[in-house]
Amino acid sequence: MPEQRVISAAQAIREATDLAMAADPAVIIMGEGIADPKTIFGTTDQLMEKYGPARVMEMSIAENGFTGMAIGAAMNGLRPIIVHQRVEFALLTMEQLVNNAAKMHYVSNGAHKAPIVVRLIVGRGWGQGPAHSQSLETLFAHIPGLKVVMPASAHDAKGLLLSAITDDSPVVFIEHRWMHYVKGHVPEGWAALPLDGPARLTQGDAVTVVSNSYMTLETIRAVEALAAEGVAVEHFDLRVVRPLNVDPIVESVKRTGRLLTVDTGFATYGVGAEIVARVMERCCLTMKAAPRRIGLPEHPTPSSRSLAAAFYPRSPDIAQALAELAGLDQARITAIHNRLAEEREALPFDVPHPSFQGPF
Amino acid sequence: MTEAALAAQKDAVRLDLYRSMQRIRLVEEEIAKRYSEQEMRCPVHLSIGQEATAVGSCAALRNDDQIISSHRGHGHYMAKGGNLKAMLAEIYGRVDGCCGGRGGSMHLFDDSVGMLASVPIVASFVPLGVGAALAYRHFGQDRVCIVYLGDGATEEGVFHESMNLAAVHKVPVVFFIENNSYSCYIGLADRQPVRPLTDMAKAYAMPSASVDGNDVEAVQAVTAQAVARARSGGGPTLIVADTYRWREHCGPNYDNDLGYRPMAEVDAWRARCPVDTFGAKLVADGVLTEAGKAAINAEIEAEMAEAFAFAKASPFPDPKTVADRVYA
């Protein structure tokens, strides 16, 4: 078998963009800093040199304005990709996304389309604090007409972005900053993946866990720790938050009777809340334990590392919840938690953990 | 072309302007008259009194040029040549409406004549026009887009963002402000510093023009210059046309009893009715006669009668389709 190529998710995103722009002259990319020396963490590197300023548009600091501009251009046949270096910048664009992009096709009874992709980057760590490190996928996922995609691997980042760009509906594509570093096997060429929902990462009959984006990487560590103890966890990476496909999760929970959700964002009204509700509607009578949710707590993100350490759930917390759901005795639960906690605490938590680089 | 033929052509163009304004006037008056039947069950924002801005500016456009409008969009839709039956059926919530009953009065469009969209969130549609115009250049087309907005919309941040973006990227768009001096019940002086609205263009190094919005030929001339500039790669223009909304902000009635605007002001603007003053001018110029006016009215009445009957006869959309077309 030939050796598979390994690249980072950031490189995979750049490659998908390049492929889509080469394939279709209607694809343009617009954002603040896409052609600056940092090129959005390298994800737009060399695109200006290759495609020029008419298709690689460095934008004024006018997020709502240029989002509306992208929607109008899309109505006339372009396929704009918008990039925001932080998800918070997109809060200024909610008016355009919610009132125009999400409704254009529906209101016109199918006559109009708004095929835009909005790439949003979620920051984390290094004291970025209250307004530079939120994960706000639920705000977008609440709106019919928008699609919301959250890749967790280099492979999915490329494949899902290709499909997002060719999709005729507006797609919000949320990239966790720490996911950019993750390396993995990524096929060359046009390797689109359908926006069809969760991917089953591991099989098992003990517990079902559903995670998304960066928290999938934390969950992988926890699932490995459980596996080392002989507990087989069925792990889904959600990937597509809207439209939400819970069918494979329901099928799994019918077998396991136990469900844990792990969100990148706030637990309250979060993605996990919706998944638990949907699953319970279909299999609450066969549950062996009450479902559990892990997500961010009920306060903003603090900057100081002493405070932030208490803010983010990590693999030891996930492993503990999984072990408790699986019904392990307290000694084993503590042992699993402590082993992961020891591994994590040996390293600073406010920079990406080296184990998260893959390849996955 | 002979001098006589040229003159005849000019007369025909002027008659078209009159006919188009009178058509908007009569259709909206008919909407107002029938509104109390409670069969048009959606908000209506009538543009009675403002017909010259829509008609004069659209007369400067080609069919494949596009326009974008707001909540007060009936006049723009009709001036651009939008299908009257589809507009009325939409207001009646019927399946033959331009949106199949999904949009109502505030979401009119007719792609066949370049009526791209109307969006009822103030100024929300302004950047759509900038983007629509960006696409023309991308595809090598020499089309132009007019964005219609009221004076209130110029207070929104996204209007200024759009002006800046249009100026920086030099897109073929015309920002057309219909300044009727009121945002609902609040006058312009309570909302903005006193200065010409055209001053805003200076901040974006953009050419501008102000025009009497009740003078259809003046509106056409000013718009034609802006459109020519945009079409030839000269970038955007801001036009400010002063005009007046006769009826209430939303609904079929007059609301002058509320006292938010002086009656002397209302009367002065009504005395300068864009349709009647232009009609009188055409009569004085020997282009139109009273009999000619009556013939035009009869023609419009017949079209309207058929269109209202069509709209009311059109079926309601099937409730089973309510979840269709959320995603393209």
Instruction: For residue range A87-125, list pLDDT tens digits in order.
Output: 999 999 999 999 999 999 999 999 999 999 999 999 888
B109 contacts in A (CB within 8 Å)?
A: 108, 111-112
Q: Closest approach of chain B CAs to the CA of A5, in angstroms?
A: 34
* A68/B128 Cβ within 8 A: yes
Closest-CA distance, A44 to chain B, in angstroms, reads 20
> Any idea what DSSP says for residue B2?
-
Of B121, B131, B137, the CB nearest to A95: B121
pLDDT tens, position by position, B179-229: 999 999 999 999 999 999 999 999 999 999 999 999 999 999 999 999 999
Instruction: Give the best residue of A60, A82, A109, A148 to mutate against chain B (max B CB count within 10 A).
Output: A109
What's the rounded mean pLDDT across residues A302-318? 90
Is residue A354 pLDDT above 80, yes or no?
no
Interchain CB contact of B130 with A (< 8 Å): yes
Asked if the bond preceding A300 is cis, omega within 30° of 0, the reply is no
Q: Can you give the pLDDT at residue A348?
A: 77
Q: What are the Cα distances from residue A182, in Å, to A26, A177, A213, A335?
A: 30, 10, 11, 28
Domain ranges of chain B: 3-313
Name the closest residue on chain A to residue B137, using Cα atoms.
A54
Structure tokens at B95: 């399946």
**All domains in chain A, ordered by first residue:** 6-185 (3.40.50.970), 199-355 (3.40.50.920)
CB–CB of B119 and A100 under 8 A? yes
Nearest residue in A to B68, CA atom? A72
**Residue contact B135–A78, C-beta within 8 A:** yes
Find the helix or strand (DSSP H, E) in which A249 lies: helix A247-256
Q: What confidence score (pLDDT) does residue A129 get?
A: 86
Among the partner residues B116, B131, B139, nearest to A68 by beta-carbon distance:
B131
Which of the listed CATH numbers 3.40.605.10, 3.40.50.300, 3.40.50.970, 3.40.50.720 matches domain B3-313?
A: 3.40.50.970
Please work out, in degrees rounded to the nearest 5, the angle formed at the alpha carbon of residue B119 by the alpha carbons of B114 and B125. 80
Parts of chain B with a pLDDT under 50: none
pLDDT at A344: 82
Which one of B69, B95, B98, B327 would you mutate to disrupt binding with A, by most A Cβ within 10 Å of its Cβ? B327
Residue that has been written with the tokens 């638990």 in this structure: A276
Is the Cβ pair A65, B136 closer than 8 Å? Answer: no
Measured distance CA(B297)–CA(A196) in Å, rounded: 57
| B135 at A interface, C-beta within 8 A | yes
Counting Cα atoms < 13 Å in the Cβ hemisphere of B94 gives 20
Q: What is the dihedral sign for C-alpha B120, B123, B128, B133?
A: positive
CA distance B166 to B154: 15
**Among A12-26, A117-131, A270-284, B255-269, where is mean pLDDT lowest?**
A117-131
Q: Does B124 touch chain A (CB under 8 A)?
A: yes
**Average pLDDT estimate for A303-324:** 92
Instruction: Determine the pLDDT at residue A2.
Output: 60
| Residue A26 to chain B, least CA–CA distance (Å) | 8
For residue A169, which residues of chain B lie inside 8 Å, CB to CB?
327-328
Which of B116, B121, B165 lies nearest to residue A62, judging by beta carbons? B165
In chain B, residues with a C-beta closer than 8 Å to the C-beta of A110 are 324-325, 328
Helices and strands per DSSP (H, E), number in chain A: 13, 14
- Degrees to nearest 5, angle at CA B8 with B5 and B14: 145
| B69 contacts B8 by C-beta, under 8 angstroms | no
Residue A335 has pLDDT above 90, yes or no: yes
Closest CB to A70: pick one of B125, B131, B161.
B131
Residue-level pLDDT at A350: 75
Q: How far is B128 from chain A (nearest CA, A)?
A: 4
Task: Give the CA radius of gyration of chain A.
Answer: 20
Residues within 8 A of A (CB atoms), B 207-266 only: none
- A1 pLDDT above the threshold of 60: no
Substitution target in B134, B142, B168 with the highest count of A β-carbons within 10 Å is B134
pLDDT per position as a tens digit, A149-208: 999 999 999 999 999 999 999 999 999 999 999 999 999 999 999 999 999 999 999 999
**Residue A356: pLDDT band with limits 50, 70, 90:** low
CB pairs under 8 A between A and B: 141
**How far is it, in rounded angstroms, from Cα A298 to Cα A277?**
20
User: What mean pLDDT comes out for the span A329-340?
Assistant: 96
Q: How much is the average pLDDT of A46-56?
A: 97
The whole-number pLDDT of residue A360 equals 62
Residue of B102, B132, B162 lying closest to A109 (CB–CB): B102
Using an 8 Å CB-CB cutoff, list chain B residues near A75. 116-117, 128, 131-132, 135
- From A345, A86, A322, A357, select the one nearest A217 (Cα to Cα): A357
What's the pLDDT score for residue A331? 96
Q: Does B102 touch chain A (CB under 8 A)?
A: yes
CB contact set of A60 (below 8 Å; sequence gap of 6+)? A32, A66, B161, B164, B165, B168
Chain A residues with CB inside 8 Å of B127's CB? 64-69, 71-72, 96
- Measured between CB atoms, which of B132, B138, B327 is closest to A75? B132
Q: How far apart are CA B215 and CA B128, in angstroms?
A: 28
Tokens of B257: 């009893």
Partner-chain residue, chosen from B128, B162, B169, that has the shortest CB–CB distance to A75: B128
| DSSP 3-state of A295 | strand
Contacts of B327 in chain A (CB under 8 A): 105, 145, 147, 168-169, 243
Confidence grade of residue A32 (pLDDT, cut at 50, 70, 90): very high
Strands in B145-150's sheet, in edge-to-edge order, are B115-118, B66-69, B145-150, B173-179, B237-242, B208-212
Q: Which chain A residues touch B131 with a CB distance below 8 Å? A: 68-76, 78, 80
Contacts of A106 in chain B (CB under 8 A): 102, 325-326
Report CA dihedral (A228, A232, A233, A239) to the nearest 10 degrees: 90
pLDDT score, position A128: 86
Can you give A65-123 as a three-state secondary structure string?
A: HHHHHHHHHHHCCCEEEEEECCHHHHHHHHHHHHHHHCCHHHHCCCCCCCCCEEEEEEC
Residue B124 has what pLDDT? 97
DSSP assignments along B160-225, one per residue:
HHHHHHHHHHT-SEEEEEEE-SEETTEEGGGTS-SS-TTHHHHTTT--EEEEETT-HHHHHHHHHH
The answer to whether B307 contacts chain A (CB < 8 Å) is: no
Percentage with pLDDT > 90 across chain A = 87
pLDDT of A124 reads: 82
Q: From CA A36, how far away is CA A45, in angstroms rounded?
A: 9
> At residue B160, what is the residue type?
H
Q: Taking CB atoms and an 8 Å cutoff, what residues of chain A touch B162?
A: 62, 65, 68-69
Q: Which residue carries 């999938």 as its tokens?
A: A216
